[in-house]
């Protein structure tokens, strides 16, 4: 007969441990992004703890805590006394208002605090987190964000970066080469400048296929009428 009183092995509880400590890892990530740590190490790889503290304008002990947490989370790599970005954090060394960095303030400022009330929201069948953590009079998140310019900017940065990435993927993946004309309307943001193959020829976005979307009408070729 098996002994069910035996404590679970370390390997068995490791997935739970990942969940237990998830909030620590995210806060290390968020603080590092706010300080511009990954951007700093992208420009000056191999800085020491003292160098990082000086560049970020904080005391050396807080810098040690931040660097230790980021290293343990796999966001930084330490060699001797020098710190470097890892493949995980390298994408965060660029523009902070673009993907993937734009997701960090969105989660930190908009989602993190309301999610504390998740259990109560389920129990009451009501958005308790929104009511208690996002100031405003509106009954919806988007209405309340419109009342807070800083949070609204965070939202638009995140959504705008998602739209740009989706538009680029659309241009890369959508194949209209089998169509005799550019009769399909494709909405590509003005900021997206990618070369694609449409109707057997090379064109740049935004192309004439965007115009029907902007005007609200669909252009049809004479052959399709």
User: Collapsing DSSP states into helix, strand and coil, what is residue 167?
Assistant: helix
User: Does residue 196 fall inside a structural domain?
Assistant: yes
84 and 144 in a single domain? The answer is no
Domain that holds residue 181: 175-224
41 and 81 in a single domain? The answer is yes
Provide the number of structural domains found in the chain.
3
Burial of 2 (0-12, 13-18, 19+ CB in 10 A): exposed
At residue 139, the pLDDT reads: 92
Instruction: Give the residue among 64, 43, 44, 45 at the shortest CA–CA distance from 53.
Output: 64
78 and 118 in a single domain? The answer is no
User: Does residue 24 fall inside a structural domain?
Assistant: yes
Instruction: Say how far apart CA 130 and CA 136 lie, in whole Å.
Output: 9
Partners of 77 in the β-ladder: 84
Whether the bond into 206 is cis, omega within 30 of 0: yes
Instruction: Say how far apart CA 131 and CA 140 lie, in whole Å.
Output: 9
| pLDDT, tens digit only, all 225 positions of the chain | 555 555 666 778 888 988 999 999 999 999 999 999 999 999 999 999 999 999 999 999 999 999 999 999 999 999 999 999 999 999 999 877 788 999 999 999 999 999 999 999 999 999 999 999 999 999 999 999 999 999 999 999 999 888 888 888 888 888 767 665 554 444 444 444 443 333 333 334 333 333 333 333 333 333 333
182 and 153 in a single domain? The answer is no
The residue assigned the tokens 């005391």 is 59
At residue 6, the pLDDT reads: 53
CATH number for the domain including 66? 1.10.10.10
Q: How much is the pTM?
A: 0.69
At residue 117, the pLDDT reads: 96
Instruction: Give the residue among 166, 218, 171, 170 at the shortest CA–CA distance from 197.
Output: 171
User: Does residue 128 fall inside a structural domain?
Assistant: yes
């Amino acid at each position: 007969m098996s002994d069910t009183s035996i404590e679970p092995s370390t390997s068995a509880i490791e997935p739970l441990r990942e969940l237990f400590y998830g909030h620590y890892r995210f806060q290390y990530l968020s603080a590092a992004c706010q300080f511009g740590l990954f951007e700093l190490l992208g420009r000056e790889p191999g800085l020491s703890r003292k160098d990082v503290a000086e560049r970020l304008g904080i005391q050396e002990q807080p810098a040690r805590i931040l660097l230790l947490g980021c290293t343990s989370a796999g966001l930084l790599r330490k060699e001797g006394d020098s710190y470097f970005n890892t493949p995980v954090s390298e994408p965060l060394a660029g523009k902070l208002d673009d993907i993937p960095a734009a997701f960090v303030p969105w989660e930190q400022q908009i989602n993190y605090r309301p999610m504390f009330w998740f259990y109560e929201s389920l129990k009451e069948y009501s958005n308790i987190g929104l009511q208690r953590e996002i100031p405003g009079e509106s009954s919806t998140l988007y209405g309340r964000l419109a009342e807070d310019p800083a949070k609204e900017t965070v939202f638009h940065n995140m959504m705008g970066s998602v739209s740009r990435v989706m538009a680029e993927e659309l241009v890369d993946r959508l194949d209209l080469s089998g169509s005799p004309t550019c009769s399909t309307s494709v909405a590509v943001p003005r900021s997206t400048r990618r070369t694609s193959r449409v109707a057997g020829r090379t064109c740049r976005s935004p192309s004439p296929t965007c115009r029907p979307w902007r005007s609200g009408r669909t252009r049809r070729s004479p052959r399709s009428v």
